[in-house]
Amino acid sequence: MKTVTLPSGEKVPALGQGTWNMGDTHATRAEEIAALQLGMDLGLTLIDTAEMYGEGKSEELVGEAIAGRRDEAFLVSKVYPHNASRKGAIVACERSLKRLGTDRLDLYLLHWRGTIPFSETMEAFAALQSAGKIRHYGVSNLDLNDMQELWKTSGGKGVKTNQLLHNLTRRGIELDLLPWMQERKIPVMAYSPVEQARLLKQRGLVDFAKRHGMTPAQAALAWLLARDDVIAIPKAGDRKHVQDNAGALEIRLSAGQLLELDKIFPPPTAPVPLAML
């Protein structure tokens, strides 16, 4: 399994699994659990969820999927900005732990920036860490100016990732935020890596994939995995999709193939404000 090194030195799988919308529908629940478990069998043991997803339904489903094999997983969850206060984040984390059926999260993220000052959230994260309820903490959807502000906050330099919208059609971070994070060795956790399946139908990507004997999803994920500081977290509630996505780990795009993709999906020519889904 290709890994990405966190600033703490710990290695995590470069390809994980997202879970937004999982657990929302009874009819697809069993397949979603089977898909997550197959993913774990294939080494995609980093699982991303959030208290927001289905208001706890996703965390419950993840808890069921990892039951009996908690130690194999690297569990990531996120706190709502309005819960990210000194006391609120602690209560929210405890609720998440209960739904997940575990005593600790491997990584706990501030889902996006709200009105509660970073200093309070960092204090809460530090308290959760001291209590052994979270191993690491990080952020999500923070643009360069937010990261610069966080960096000046006590505890801010302890973040282990910034989870961001990033894929072949969302390259805006490449000129400003990404280099800033690279200088500080903070990996990107790339969410919506196949643009919620829309990317997989784009003619340019479909043709590229056909030419090079891979599927569109594998091409999109292999493009992210080509860098050593990106963790991609595709969501797949269907086992065929999980198997397909895991195949991206076998692909190393050549410099020529990366150039071809740059022509189809041009990199930005000026900094672009961060987008979120």
User: Which residues of this chain interact with ligand NAP, rule CB under 6 A?
Assistant: 18-20, 48, 111, 140-141, 163, 191-197, 200, 217, 233-238, 241, 244-245, 276-277
Smallest distance, ligand NAP to C-beta of residue 18, A: 2
191 is catalytic: no
Smallest distance, ligand NAP to C-beta of residue 46, A: 10
In whole angstroms, what is the distance from residue 5 CA to residue 123 CA? 25
Smallest distance, ligand NAP to C-beta of residue 35, A: 7
Instruction: Indicate the residue among 20 and 118 with the shorter CB distance to ligand NAP.
Output: 20
Please say whether the beta carbons of 227 and 201 come within 8 A: no
Structure tokens of 70? 């908690």
Please say whether the beta carbons of 41 and 33 come within 8 A: no
The CA-atom distances, in angstroms, between 163 and each of 101, 168, 210, 244 are 24, 16, 30, 23
Classify each residue of 32-44 as buried b or exposed e, where b means 16 or more C-beta atoms within 10 Å of its C-beta: bbebbbbbbebbb
Instruction: Indicate the residue among 25 and 154 with the shorter CB distance to ligand NAP.
Output: 25
Instruction: Indicate the residue among 85 and 141 with the shorter CB distance to ligand NAP.
Output: 141
Positions annotated as catalytic residues are: 53
